[in-house]
């Protein structure tokens, strides 16, 4: 959102009953579809994996996976490993939480690093300060080849960005890991075409039909724990091109800029060099649900510097192998 929700409204959110238009009955249908897709992947593919960053969307998928397959405590286990492509520039609150949840679930966690790709020479930065975010595609494709994954489950949603809105739930990738928007397979009702040729794979998006609001309503309903960055906290930021850029060692002040201490939270978490917080006093999922209802800028539009480089930047990255 562009403006902070007034404190008096946040107070009212916590002291009044939820209005009728915030009914979350539809979440049962979304959850059922997600569980169906997660089980379909387990049944149809030999070497699937679930992309797990420790962010809210992957934590929602993990919750649905727990319901689909159970946990060690209930006698079950998620039947595929978790995979994260780490740029080395992620917020430690998120990576710490990623490790904690994987250990708590007894899940196999695979981490592959962009820094390792840099050491191999497959990733070369134009300059030391260049964001590594876009280079995740190289490391991801290397991990796919290393483990011969044939299906990678991701938490992308259609409401995030117009290139993601074009994706099918089962998105076919050719032997080069590339996405061809014009060659997508039809998905009528729940009929998914999961046939692959050698070397090809699928990217699978079980929460494609969820919105940011659905995700937060589900987090509230299921009481899903999240990294602290998602809730209000004080942080030094500087305004650039309409975004609040966090002041860090990786994103220092430029000459003439002055840092401000503001109350902020992150709507999405990713590489520090391209992820921005929004001004907010929301401290609970319920308060964030109300903030999201009032938001007039998309999640990525309000928080991601890398999506602003061009109108087609996400589509180009997806064609190159990015999620």
**pLDDT for 7:** 60
Task: Write out pLDDT tens, residues 16-44.
Answer: 445 455 678 899 999 999 999 999 999 99
Question: How far is residue 273's CA from residue 283's CA, in Å, rounded to a whole number?
Answer: 25
Task: Write out pLDDT tens, residues 90-136.
Answer: 999 999 999 999 999 889 999 999 999 999 999 999 988 888 988 99
Note whether 121 and 148 are within 8 A (CB): no
Helix (H, G, I), strand (E, B) or coil at 175: coil
Question: How far is residue 273's CA from residue 239's CA, in Å, rounded to a whole number?
Answer: 14
Task: Write out pLDDT tens, residues 194-253.
Answer: 999 999 999 999 999 999 999 999 999 999 999 999 999 999 999 998 899 999 999 999
- Tokens for 234? 């004080």
Note whether 286 and 279 are within 8 A (CB): no
The pLDDT-based confidence of 3 (bands split at 50, 70, 90) is very low
What is the arithmetic mean of pLDDT over 166-173? 90
Note whether 140 and 114 are within 8 A (CB): no
**pLDDT for 184:** 86
Give the residue, 39 or 165, on which the prediction is more confident. Answer: 39
The topology (CATH level 3) of 25-213+312-320 is: Rossmann fold (3.40.50)
Give the residue, 8 or 166, on which the prediction is more confident. Answer: 166
Question: How far is residue 201's CA from residue 148's CA, in Å, rounded to a whole number?
Answer: 9
Q: What is the maximum alpha-carbon separation in the chain?
A: 59
Question: How far is residue 254's CA from residue 247's CA, in Å, rounded to a whole number?
Answer: 10
Share above pLDDT 90 across residues of the chain, in percent, rounded to a whole number: 66
Beta strands 201-204 and 243-246, pairing class: unpaired
Q: Please, which residues have CB within 8 angstroms of residue 296's CB and are 6 or more apart in sequence?
A: 1, 2
Domain layout of the chain by residue ranges: 25-213+312-320, 226-307
């Amino acid at each position: 959102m562009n403006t902070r929700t007034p404190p008096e409204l946040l107070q009212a959110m916590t002291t009044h009953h939820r209005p009728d238009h915030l009914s979350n009955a539809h979440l049962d249908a979304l959850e059922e579809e997600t569980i169906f897709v997660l089980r379909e992947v387990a049944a149809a593919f030999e070497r699937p994996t679930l992309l797990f960053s420790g962010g809210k969307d992957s934590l929602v998928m993990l919750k649905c996976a727990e319901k689909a397959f159970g946990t060690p405590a209930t006698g079950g286990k998620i039947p595929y490993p978790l995979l994260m492509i780490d740029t080395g520039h992620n917020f430690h609150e998120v990576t710490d939480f990623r490790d904690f949840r994987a250990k708590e679930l007894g899940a196999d966690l695979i981490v592959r690093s962009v820094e390792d790709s840099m050491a191999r020479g497959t990733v070369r930065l134009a300059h030391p300060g260049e964001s590594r975010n876009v280079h995740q595609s190289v490391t991801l494709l290397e991990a796919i080849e290393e483990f011969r994954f044939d299906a990678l489950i991701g938490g992308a949603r259609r409401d995030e960005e117009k290139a993601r809105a074009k994706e099918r739930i089962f998105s076919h990738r050719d032997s080069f890991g590339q996405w061809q928007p014009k060659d997508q397979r039809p998905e009528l009702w729940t009929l998914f075409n999961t046939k692959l040729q050698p070397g090809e794979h699928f990217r699978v998006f079980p929460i494609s039909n969820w919105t940011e609001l659905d995700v937060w309503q589900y987090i509230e309903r299921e009481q899903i724990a999240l990294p602290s960055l998602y809730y209000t906290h004080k942080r030094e930021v500087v305004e650039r091109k309409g975004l609040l850029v966090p002041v860090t060692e990786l994103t220092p002040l430029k000459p003439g800029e002055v840092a401000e201490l503001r109350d902020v939270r992150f709507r999405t978490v990713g590489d520090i060099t391209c992820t921005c917080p929004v001004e907010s006093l929301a401290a609970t999922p319920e308060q964030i649900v109300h903030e999201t209802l009032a938001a007039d800028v998309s999640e990525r539009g309000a928080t991601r510097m890398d999506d602003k480089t061009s109108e087609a930047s996400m589509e180009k990255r997806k064609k190159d192998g990015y999620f």
